[in-house]
Amino acid sequence: MKKRILIIGACGQIGTELTAHLRKKYAPHKVIASDIKEGDQALMSAGPFEVLDAMDYEAVQNVVIKYEITDVYLMAAMLSATAEKFPMRAWDLNMNSLFNVLNLAKEKKIDTIFWPSSIAVFGSTTPKTNTPQRTIMEPSTVYGISKQTGERWCEYYHKRYDVDVRSIRYPGLISYTTLPGGGTTDYAVDIYYKALKHKKYICFLNAETTLPMMYMDDAIKATVGIMDAKKEDVKIRSSYNLAAMSFNPEEVAASIRKRIPEFTISYEPDFRQAIADSWPQTIDDDAAREDWGWKHTVELDEMTEIMLENLKS
Ligand code: AKB
- Which protein residue has the closest C-alpha to ligand 1 atom 6? 172
| Residue 273 Cα distances to 73, 255, 295, angstroms | 30, 22, 30
Residue 123 falls in which region: left (phi positive, over 0), alpha (psi -120 to 50) or beta: beta
Q: How far apart are CA 95 and CA 238, in angstroms?
A: 15
Ligand 1 neighbour 185 (Cβ under 6 A): yes
Tens-place pLDDT, residues 160-178? 999 999 999 999 999 999 9
Q: Give the Å distance between the CA of 254 and the centre of ligand 1.
A: 23
Q: How far is the CA of 27 from the centre of ligand 1 (A)?
A: 30
Query: What's the rounded Cα separation, in Å, for the pair 177 and 187?
Result: 15
Q: Is residue 204 classed as helix, strand or coil in its secondary structure?
A: coil
Question: What's the Cα-to-Cα distance from 191 to each of 227, 263, 284, rounded to whole Å?
Answer: 32, 10, 27
Give the three-class secondary structure for 256: helix
Strand 200-203 to strand 112-114: parallel, antiparallel, or no bridges (unpaired)? unpaired
- pLDDT bracket for residue 40 (50, 70, 90): confident
Model confidence at 151: pLDDT above 70: yes
Q: How far is the CA of 185 from the centre of ligand 1 (A)?
A: 6
Measured from the Cα of 182, ligand 1's closest atom is 3
Rounded Cα gap, residues 86 and 37, in angstroms: 20
| Ligand 1 proximity of 184 Cβ (cutoff 6 Å) | yes
Arithmetic mean of pLDDT over the chain:
97
Residue to substitute in 78, 79, 119, 215 for testing ligand 1 pocket (most ligand atoms within 8 angstroms of CB): 79
Residue 310 pLDDT > 90, yes or no?
Answer: yes
Centre of ligand 1 to C-alpha 201, Å, is 20
CA distance 137 to 131: 10
Question: Count of residues for the chain?
Answer: 313
Q: Which of 99, 94, 95, 139 is nearest to 120 (CA)?
A: 139
Position 232 pLDDT exceeds 70 = yes
With bands split at pLDDT 50, 70 and 90, how would you rate the model's confidence at 8? very high
Is 143 noted as a catalytic residue in this protein?
yes
From the CB of 118, is ligand 1 less than 6 Å away?
yes
Instruction: Give residue-wise pLDDT tens across range 256-285.
Output: 999 999 999 999 999 999 999 999 999 999
Please determine, for residue 1, whether its predicted confidence score (pLDDT) is greater than 80.
no
Res. 216: pLDDT tops 90 = yes
Query: Phi and psi of 33, rounded to 5°?
Result: -90, 145
What is the C-alpha to C-alpha distance for residues 196 and 263, in angstroms, rounded to an integer?
9
Closest CA to 103 of 138, 170, 58: 58
Ligand 1 atom at minimal distance to the Cα of residue 171: 6
CA angle 169, 157, 110 (to 5 degrees): 90
The number of angstroms, rounded, from the C-alpha of 169 to the middle of its chain's C-alpha atoms is 8
Report pLDDT digits (tens) over 95-127: 999 999 999 999 999 999 999 999 999 999 999
- Please tell me if the CB atom of residue 119 comes closer than 6 angstroms to any atom of ligand 1: yes
Measured in Å, residue 172 CA sits from the centre of ligand 1 at 5
Give the C-alpha separation, 84 to 95, whole Å: 15
